[in-house]
Amino acid sequence: MAIIVQKFGGSSVADKDKVFNVANRVVETYKNGYDVIVVVSAQGDTTDDLLEKAAEINPNPSKREMDMLLATGEQISISLLAMAIETLGVPVISLTGWQAGFRTDSNCGSARIEKIDTTRMKEELARRKVIIVAGFQGLDKYDDITTLGRGGSDTSAVAIAAQIGAEKCEIYTDVDGVYTTDPRIVPEAKKLDEITFDEMLELASLGANVLHNRSVEIAKKYNVKLEVKSSFNKVDGTLVKEAIAMEKMLIRGVARDNDVARISVVGLPDQPGIAYKVFSKLAQEGINVDIILQSIGRNDEKDISFTVTKGHLEKALAILEGEKDVLRFKELLHREDICKISIVGSGMVNNPGVAAKMFQALYDAGINIHMISTSEIKVSVLINKDYADKAVQVVHRAFFD
Ligand code: ADP
Ligand code: ASP
Ligand code: MG
């Protein structure tokens, strides 16, 4: 029998009525003759509430204990959804991530899936049971609980679909699909019927949290048929796929990422090997660096600025401070009041002037650009975070009006 994986996000299971809404949709798919594996996230704001509870007790808890705590949210929703499906008279079983066979590395808080042993899931499907799996969680080689990073239930769902050979993976959420930008910031945003894996991967990595970026990577690698759609209506969603019939769209979407901090290393000696020394040390300590800007040398000195996530800021500053004797810089500066606005689309490959159009929209709105970075299918700029919404709106208008 064909298998469908359906993932429901936190807002889709936030209360009793919503849990029953999901239960009915799942049962409908089951009664249409499919084997159904459902992945759910924690209800509503549960994960945020757990983070707050932890902060009241210890502002700097170990990552292991944090994952122990955060994984509980999903366990609540799987059991409640299974109970709702029981009332509808359909055989069902809920499984934690580890019962479903998820094994991950030990990188608590952003663990990567290493394998999924699907034996148990296959046994339950053979008994014609609907399976409800807790998203976002697994076990490492020490049998410690790990989580996959915020939004990681999407990745759990796509990984199951890839591993078990599901016919498709449906991601149900609180919007009708993937839009040209976050419809909560720009109400005129347009829903996309289709988007390529590469475009979706860029958008997700650049802050469009409608899909977890790892989920898109896995879907691309294993060519999983992926659709993003609403839990609350039955309209067609957005298909994420390898290639799509090119519409006349220069760009596919605008994304915003608030989780950015900028570090400037000022007054470095203008010598070969300096950039290597700065970034190799950061890389060794597991710090991901994003946009990099190096000034041209003057008076035998240069500056290097770059961005990291806010969570890595303190560690990065401490590492650089610790290397001050080797790097011989004059000053270390940082800013957190910034955000990154990006445009993404394969249409920009053969169309010069796309970046200029974005810069003009920002200029017309009086928004200053601190840093720029480009790749084949994206342009990102760093701006003051107070202008984030405005920037998304004006850039979106420039391309989609
Ligand atoms: P879930 O709880 O279902 O996983 P998320 O909050 O993680 O839902 O993701 C859905 C949200 O993503 C939407 O409510 C929307 O505000 C936001 N979003 C950001 N960018 C986009 C986009 N380009 N298209 C659709 N939604 C987007
Ligand atoms: N509950 C987790 C979170 O809030 C995982 C998810 O929703 O996908 O990030
Ligand atoms: Mg999500």
Write the DSSP symbol of residue 246.
P
Cα 381 to the center of its chain, rounded Å: 19
What is 351-376 written as a DSSP string? -TTHHHHHHHHHHHTTPPP-EEEEET
Q: What is the CATH number of domain 3-173?
A: 3.40.1160.10
What is 52-97 written as a DSSP string? HHHHHH-SS--HHHHHHHHHHHHHHHHHHHHHHHHHTT--EEEE-T
Angle value at C-alpha 43, between 161 and 56, nearest 5 degrees: 120
Name which residue sits closest to atom 27 of ligand 1, judged by CA.
182
Q: How do the pLDDT tens digits run along the chain, 401 residues long? A: 899 999 999 999 999 999 999 999 999 999 999 999 999 999 999 999 999 999 999 999 999 999 999 999 999 999 999 999 999 999 999 999 999 999 999 999 999 999 999 999 999 999 999 999 999 999 999 999 999 999 999 999 999 999 999 999 999 999 999 999 999 999 999 999 999 999 999 999 999 999 999 999 999 999 999 999 999 999 999 999 998 776 677 899 999 999 999 999 999 999 999 999 999 999 999 899 999 999 998 889 999 999 999 999 999 999 999 999 999 999 999 999 999 999 999 888 888 899 999 999 999 999 999 999 999 999 999 999 999 999 999 999 999 98
Mutation pick for ligand 1 pocket among 148, 169, 182 (CB with most ligand atoms within 8 Å): 182
- Termini Cα distance of the chain: 46
**What are the Cα distances from residue 173, in Å, to 10, 18, 215, 271?**
8, 12, 15, 51
- Quote the pLDDT of residue 44: 98
Mutation pick for ligand 2 pocket among 12, 133, 153, 171 (CB with most ligand atoms within 8 Å): 153
- Quote the pLDDT of residue 246: 62
Nearest ligand 2 atom to the CA of 9 is 7
Write the DSSP symbol of residue 152.
T
Those residues with Cβ within 8 angstroms of residue 381's Cβ, 6 or more apart along the chain or in another chain: 340, 341, 342, 358, 359, 362, 369, 370, 371, 372
CA of 210 to the centre of ligand 3 (A): 6
How are beta strands 130-134 and 35-40 bridged, if at all? parallel
Those residues with Cβ within 8 angstroms of residue 100's Cβ, 6 or more apart along the chain or in another chain: 116, 120, 121, 131, 133, 134, 160
Q: What global pTM score does this model have?
A: 0.94
CB of 253 sitting under 6 A from ligand 2: no
Angle value at C-alpha 170, between 168 and 172, nearest 5 degrees: 175
- Is the C-alpha dihedral spanning 136, 139, 140, 145 positive or negative? positive
Name which residue sits closest to atom 10 of ligand 1, judged by CA.
210
- Give the residue from 239, 237, 245 showing the smallest Cα distance to 347: 245
CA of 209 to the centre of ligand 1 (A): 5
Residues linked to residue 330 through DSSP beta bridges, in sequence order: none
What number of other Cβ atoms are within 10 A of residue 188's Cβ?
Answer: 13
Helix (H) or strand (E) holding 397: helix 388-400
Separation of alpha carbons 86 and 93, rounded Å: 9
The residue assigned the tokens 């041209």 is 296
